[in-house]
Structure formats: structure tokens, C-alpha cells
Structure 1
Amino acid sequence: MGRKGCCSALVLLLFNIVAWIEAEVQKTIYFPSQKMTWDKARRYCQTYYIDMVTWDTVDPNLLTTWLLEKDFTKVWIGLHQDPEQSLVWRWIDVKTGEGLTGDDVSGSRDWLLGQAVGASCGSYNSITKKWENALCFLEMSFICYADNLVVVTENKTWEEALDHCREMTNGSFKYDLLSVTNASDYGYVSDRIYGATTNEVWTGLRFLGGEWWWSDRETLDHQEMLPDCPSQWQHCGTFSKYNTTSWTSRDCSERRNFICSYEEIVSQEEKQDSKSG
């Protein structure tokens, strides 16, 4: 059981093309109008968004369609040659914002290697649908991404964390403690909370009426991931920076960091227009 994310769309905003991708954890890809070297492009993405796009943050087919529609042929992506192993290529690591400790993609069929000596940065060709190595000092278009998550590095009880998230709600966006109803997002969330100052962070999980519920009123699909009869105080759920396979029940009065999520507020009129359209 889960919610739908934002509908797919393309809009022109401040000279950037913005594309909302449908997902449980909503991710947004950005095509800045500038052309930069690989290193400058990555610093730009980290400064204004989260990082450069990697293949676990986008739908490659949808991305290719958008690139072709907007006449983007070759773009920088978050792929780089391992500085210590010349034959190994890796995705960038969003955990630290530094280094290249992501999965080794050297043997992938998606590769179309060039012949340039010292071409240690990765790009994507939307026409061939292949990754290509290129000289890092070349200036070309690039792709960044962001999401709808906010990691708060303040220590609060579960109730205080819930109030903190909800008090961030404004006229445009509704905030809440994070509800993750898609198991495929677990690894991504684990990476995103890497900068938390506590090993575990509060999420929107709460034990009520004999069941585990998310704060957005969705039940946890895999109830067996948490005790079906937790002790009197351990009625709140956390997620670990180091364990991406399960949740943990904790005493709701403990104080730790937490993760919020937000979604755009849609009026009843807009909802009705969307349905009729």
C-alpha cells in the first residue's frame, strides 16, 4: 500500500528544466543551462541540489526520453574512473559527497568506451543509450538531482520530531516524519541519513492498536520486520545508517536525529482538474 509521488512533468524555471519523477521517495532531476567541466558540474550539483545523477536515482528510459526531447545528446553523469584502479569505474558516493565508492560498473553492457588517453570522467549519450568516458576538462551539459527529504541533526523524542516536521509545513508544502512504503527506497534512505549524528534516526513508524503504522496513516506492509508485541515503551520505529534491511523499535522517549519528508500541497480544485484531465 503506498502513495503516488508527483506526476511526471517538465517545466521551465529560472532557466533550468525540472522533471518530477514518480516515486515513493520523490526525486527530482535538474538540467542546468550551463556547460561545465565534470568537477565543476559536480560541485554545482552538490551546492544547489544533492549530487550528480547516478543510475540508481533515475529511470534511465524516462531520462533518455527527456534528454532527446530537449536536444541534450551528451551529458555528464555521476560516473568516474577509480583513482586507484584504472580499469574500474564507479558511481559517485552520495553518503559522504566525496570519493568514488559506489558499485563497480566496469563490466556493464551499457559502456561504449572512447579512445582518449586520460578520459576518466563518465558521460551519457542519449542517442546511443550508452555511458562514455570523456576528458574531465571538457565542458558539457550535466544532470543534478534532489529529493523531498530533510535530515534534521537535532536530538528529539519521537513526538517532538513529529511536531518539528509538521511545524515546517507552509502554504506550498506539507511536511511529516518520513514514511517509506517502498522497500526499494531503503538503501537510498540509508545513504541520505549518513550525515546524521546518531546511528539511528526516527522515522514515521509508530505502534498503535496492535499494528505498526506510518505517520501518514499507511500500515507497514512487512509487519514482520518489527516485533508484533513490542514492550510497553518501544513503540516507535527507527532506521539505521548501517543496516538497510530492517527497522528497529525503540523507546519513544529516547532522543535522536530524525528524517522528514515533504510533498507539494494540491488544492481540491487542482485535484479535480487532474482527475477530469
Structure 2
Amino acid sequence: MSQAQYILLLIALCSISECVQRQYHFINEKKNLTEAQRYCRENYTDLATVDNMNNMIQLNKSVNDERVWIGLQRTSVYKWHWSSGDPALFLNWASGQPVGSDNCTYMTNGQWIVGPCSAISPFICYNMSRGLVFVNQTVNWRAAQSYCRQNHTDLVIVRNQNESQQLEQFINDRQLSGGAIWIGLFRDPWQWSDQSNSSFRYWKTTEPDNYGGIENCTVIEENAQGRWADYPCYWKMPFVCHEDKLIVIQQNLSWSEALRYCRQNHVDLVSVQSVEMQRRVMNVVKLASTEAVWLGLHHYCSMNMWLWLTGDMVCYQNWAPGNGSTPENCKLENRKGAVQSGGDQTWISLPESHRLNFICTN
């Protein structure tokens, strides 16, 4: 295979490679939410966190269609999220927005306005292979989300100014700019027990309803295809814990020594191929005793590119400024990738002889 063919193959694989890093454990003991949380933290990582539909399918296989606690709890603070689970780092509100107590977002004339989730509008999905897809059905926000997840990937997300301009052009090309169109931005007061940033939600149609003003915890409902409902936290029922398959090793080793250690004692040095995986790395890297921590990322000098140990190309990127380019002396000094344990926890390029903590997949 030629170098050009190999690069094209890697690019194609970027859109399909996936690495599931959570393991779910069904605990058939009836406990209230506080007791269940304590049990999970003592024996695993925490009460179950769900990041995406793949996680949801995996979790449902373990619960046998019964009502169980998961780790989502109501707080007093509302935060903006994307339906896909991506953090809301870029916002493009119209002047004076967001205003009021509404929680869903539509786009009109290139800008965003908050509105009631029960309002009906057409919407835009994104599809991993087709890109943006306009759906000319007027439905509420939750129904739009459900349609996009069933038929495409999710409601459209906008992560930066460039994507905002592309979305606006997509709408203008279809002469839709004057109307209200749902996008995937929403806000809610829910937070996962492990403090992760996951914004994945899978509520039943009428939930959460906070009946009686005391339903602050979340269960997977029985006979509901795995969908969720809010319940009082004092109810006693079985629960699901999760175990993160990431572990920080607080030994200072070179990259090659770290690789050998992970493969002998665990599975491998971690590969970070998505925003979701970067969030998990950020959750554990705070335990490190060095300023940076080795990842399974190495520069392949003869191919002039960075690769993960899995052989995958670096599709998702989180490089610190000035890092990630081809080292000038790559043939003289093997460069490897590490994640900073403080600050923005971005990736940096270092000589493999540096001695750092490291993250293994467990």
C-alpha cells in the first residue's frame, strides 16, 4: 500500500473508529440514591453516567428491563448543553438573549433565540455521512431530538464560528432564514454524580415532571425502552454503577516504559479519539503527580503524522498552541504525546525520554 493510500484509509477510519471505555454493573440490592451512590463509589467509580446512545444500549443490556437508579441528579444551576453531548463552548445569541426561563434553542436570521421546548418548529439534524439535513416537520424540541437520533445522528451542533457560518449558509440556500428552526442547544439543571460534563439525556416523553416538587433523582423506567424518569431520591431500588476503564499510574516512566507497563499490567496506553474520551481523561488526570501525563500518541516520522497506538489517525485533536506539528528533528528525537494535568489539559509533544505519570486503559 502506498503512503497516499494509507493516509486515505486512515482518514476514512476517522469517522467510524470508536472506543467504549465504560463498564456497567447492575447491583440487585434495593437502596436509596445516597446509599447507592456510596456503594458505587466504594466498589467501582460512581453511579452510572451515560454519554451517548451506545452507552445507553450497553447499559440497558445489564438491567433486564427493571426500574433502576442511575447517577443523574437535579441541582439548582441551569447549564447549556448540546444534545450530542458536546460542551457548549461557542454561543451565538441574538441581542438580549437568552432571556426568560425557556430551555430550548431555535435559530432565525442566523442567530439563536431561547424558546419553550413545547413550541413546534422544523429542525436540522446532522448525519455522520451526509452532513446537515433539514427536516420540514413542525414538532417540539424533544420530538425533533428523537427523530434525529433515530434517523441520523442528532440535532445539529455548532462548535465554532466557522460551523455557525456554514449552518447559516445552509439555511439561506434553502430560503429558510426568516423562520424558527430548532438546533441542538438546550439547558437543564441536571448533573451526573461523577461530575462529568455529559449532556446526554434520554427522558420519557412526559419526563422530567418533578411531581410534588421532590423528584430530584433519575431512574431508568421499566417497560419504557430504557427511557428515564425523575423520582424522589429516598425511594429504594436496584441501581447501576459504572467503572471507568482509565487509570492514572503515579510512576515516573519514559513513554516506552509506560507503554510496557500498561501492556503487562492493564491493556494499553490510552487513545483519545473523541471529545467524550478527552472528558474522561480530564476527570482522571487530576490525580497525576507530574505536570503532564503520557498518552498512547506517537509521531510516525516516516509517514510525517501523529498516530494513536491503535493505528488510528488523530481525527479529534486537542493540541496546545505550538504543538502537534511535525517535529523538525523527528528522525533524531522520538516525540510522543502527553496531556497536561493542569490548566486546559491540552496535549503537548515531548521527547519520549521524559519521565511522567501515564494513563492506562484498564
Q: One-letter code of the match for 1:30?
A: H
Aligned to 1:138: 235
Contact 1:33 1:141 survives alignment (8 Å): yes
1:152-202 residue CA offsets vs partner (Å, 9 max, x unmatched) = 122222122122212216xxxxx2212234454222222232322234210
CA distance in 1, matches of 2:316, 2:62: 37
Aligned to 2:349: 249
State the 1:32 CA deviation: 1.1
CA distance in 1, matches of 2:309, 2:62: 37
Aligned to 1:122: 218
Q: Please give the residue correspondences for 1:140-159 in structure 2 after superposition, counting only pairs within 5 Å.
A: 140-159=237-256
Aligned to 2:338: 238
Q: One-letter code of the match for 2:354?
A: E
State the 1:81 CA deviation: 2.3
Which of these residues, 225, 228, 243, is aligned with residue 326 of structure 2? 228
Aligned to 1:185: 277
| 3-state secondary structure, aligned to 1:227 | coil
| 3-state secondary structure, aligned to 2:42 | helix
State the 1:116 CA deviation: 3.3
CA distance in 2, matches of 1:48, 1:163: 27
Q: TM-score, normalised by structure 1?
A: 0.67
CA distance in 2, matches of 1:104, 1:65: 18
Aligned to 2:54: 59
State the 1:230 CA deviation: 4.7
Change (3 A) 1:167 1:143: same
Contact 2:52 2:200 survives alignment (8 Å): no
Change (3 A) 1:65 1:153: closer
Q: Please give the residue correspondences for 1:6-155 in structure 2 after superposition, counting only pairs within 5 Å.
A: 23-56=18-51, 59=54, 62=57, 66=61, 70-72=64-66, 74-82=67-75, 89-92=189-192, 94=194, 102=197, 111-128=207-224, 130-155=227-252
Change (3 A) 1:61 1:235: closer
Contact 2:210 2:216 survives alignment (8 Å): no
Which one has more relative contact order, counting CA pairs under 8 Å at least 6 apart? 2
CA distance in 2, matches of 1:103, 1:223: 19
Aligned to 2:4: none
**Structure having the larger proportion of residues in helix:** 2
State the 1:49 CA deviation: 1.6
Q: One-letter code of the match for 2:70?
A: I
CA distance in 2, matches of 1:214, 1:25: 16
Aligned to 2:286: 194
| 3-state secondary structure, aligned to 1:116 | helix
Q: One-letter code of the match for 2:282?
A: S
Matched, 1:214 2:323: no
Matched, 1:176 2:268: yes
Contact 1:52 1:143 survives alignment (8 Å): yes
Contact 2:68 2:221 survives alignment (8 Å): yes
Aligned to 1:8: none
State the 1:144 CA deviation: 1.2
Q: One-letter code of the match for 2:289?
A: T
Q: TM-score, normalised by structure 2?
A: 0.53
State the 1:102 CA deviation: 4.5
Aligned pair count? 230
1:187-242 residue CA offsets vs partner (Å, 9 max, x unmatched) = 22222323222342101112232332323444434689511235554711012345
Q: CA RMSD for the aligned pairs?
A: 3.7
Contact 1:113 1:133 survives alignment (8 Å): yes
CA distance in 2, matches of 1:261, 1:46: 19
Contact 1:178 1:259 survives alignment (8 Å): yes
Q: Larger C-alpha radius of gyration, 1 or 2? A: 2
Aligned to 2:258: 161
Change (3 A) 1:78 1:234: same
| 3-state secondary structure, aligned to 1:187 | helix
Range 175-184 or range 34-43, more displaced: 175-184
